Amino acid sequence: MNLKEKDPLIWAYIQKEKERQENTIELIASENFTSKEVMEAMGTVLTNKYAEGYPKKRYYGGCENVDAIEQLAIDRVKKLFGAEYANVQPHSGAQANMAAYQAILQPGDTVIGMSLENGGHLTHGSPVNQSGKLYNFIPYGVKEDGRINYNELRQLIFEYKPRLVLAGASAYPRIIDFKTIRESVDAYNESIGISTEPKVLSDKDIEYIEKHKCYFMVDMAHIAGLVAAGLHPSPVPYADIVTSTTHKTLRGPRGGIILAKSELGKKLNSAVFPGTQGGPLEHVIAAKAVCFEEALQPEFKLYQRQIVENCKVLAEGLVACGFNLVSGGTDNHLILIDLRNKGITGLEAQQRLEELGITVNKNAVPKDTEKPMITSGIRLGTAAVTTRGFTEDDIATVAVLIAEGLKFGKDAKFTDDELKIAVRQLCKDHPIY
């Protein structure tokens, strides 16, 4: 008996979702389409194996095969990013972040992170998230031009004396200068007597560092694929800890990873298990290993270059159609549109475009006055459409479809039916699988 026969209702919904994905232009920056090989690894007998602990240090027997698979995933991701240490067990980017916090912070410690409305993430200190409930987050943001205010960030570090500075974003369309942030963190540490130069430390020195040192962490969930391809500066040489998801631009299964300096490895392992989660999802880890191997291939760099090029073309097309882009454009895989000059909300735009077969997500913009479930903007990303083969000409057409679709009939050159047909044709020309 197969799934269709045993549970026809679930099977039917899966088929409907497959059809939705095939017939929709997916522009949500957090989403992507995995390879068939990644999905194959996900649906294996590894689902059956419980394996608390780490390779060769498990609390269960019968782990020789999952040990080998998990070690492969670790070795491959370390090679991919040039990291000294890696943990591939986090179930998500959010859990990777919380484990990293637990490894180096105490409840109530001060952390400086990018605010949600300026492009940050819920786990970067939002008051509705456990990160904001457990730790004292001080937000930083962007200047009037939509770019990170590195001078303000440096001032906040010296003013609030944090235990952690967190970089990375979920809706920031520009290159992040990790080197400059590292220099600010080092300058602060030097100011409180913690040298960056290697030296023999006494027990008293170690105790002082444990209580006062400011760490630098980067959440590169959105840009990980670009980093792997050398199209965005890597945070790994500068940050003490780097977290990421394995989907988005990496094009793998939904999950998380932690990279770090080797000296933090023991603390981070303990923070993941048993600190924040139980048994690892070994079928997902196998899929991560497949994803990392794919990302190590030359064609992956070509794919990432196309993502960036497609995003630039989309940005240029939208600007030509009168849209205001936060920061004026993009350096990476995503675009943030401020819709206030169009007189529509992010929610309205999201719903309208979905009617036409274009999937985006509402998103806050700097100085947004709308509620989080409404917002004044939408976020677009080109990773998923690039996976299915969209190139510059296709993306230029997408920009026009978005512009025409958001006219809500006013001065529109095309009917809704014509727009829907155009969307379906693009999808038909570029099947996912």
Q: Is 137 helix (H, G, I), strand (E, B) or coil?
A: strand
* CA gap 88, 105 in Å, rounded: 21
Say whether 182 is catalytic.
no
Task: Identify whether the C-beta of residue 358 lies closer than 8 Å to the C-beta of residue 386.
Answer: no
Q: How far is CA 330 from the centre of its chain?
A: 16
- 163 touches 100 (CB < 8 A): no
User: Has 188 been annotated as catalytic?
Assistant: no
Contact present, 250 and 229 (Cβ < 8 Å): no
Q: How far apart are CA 252 and CA 250, in angstroms?
A: 6
Question: How far apart, in whole angstroms, are the C-alpha atoms of residue 405 and residue 69?
Answer: 47
Q: How far apart are CA 207 and CA 182, in angstroms?
A: 23
Distance, CA of 121 to CA of 219 (rounded, Å): 9
Q: Which of 26, 70, 117, 219 is catalytic?
A: 219
Token digits for 254? 């939904």
Q: Which segments of 340-409 are extended strands (E)? A: 358-359, 361-363, 377-381
Nearest 5°: the CA angle 254, 242, 169 is 70
Is residue 219 part of the annotated active site? The answer reads yes
Q: Residue 349: CB partners within 8 Å, gap ≥ 6? A: 337, 339, 342, 360, 362, 378, 406
Catalytic residue selected from 254, 342, 352, 362: 254
Structure tokens at 35: 């390879």
* Catalytic one of 31, 52, 293, 370: 52
Question: 248 an active-site residue?
Answer: yes
Measured distance between the N- and C-terminal CA atoms of the chain, rounded to whole angstroms: 25
Q: Is 251 a catalytic site residue?
A: no
Strand order in the sheet with 324-325: 324-325, 334-338, 377-381, 361-363
Q: State the virtual CA torsion across 331, 336, 341, 345 in degrees, nearest 10.
A: 170
Which DSSP string do the residues of 266-329 spell out, in sequence order?
Answer: HHHHHIIIIII--S--HHHHHHHHHHHHHHTSHHHHHHHHHHHHHHHHHHHHHHHTTPEEGGGS
Our answer to whether residue 312 is catalytic in this structure is: no
Of 163, 248, 352, 388, the catalytic one is 248
Identify the active-site residue in 123, 245, 375, 387.
245
Token readout for 215 is 């760490």
CA dist 306 and 426 (Å) reads 17
Which residues are part of the catalytic machinery?
50, 52, 219, 245, 248, 254
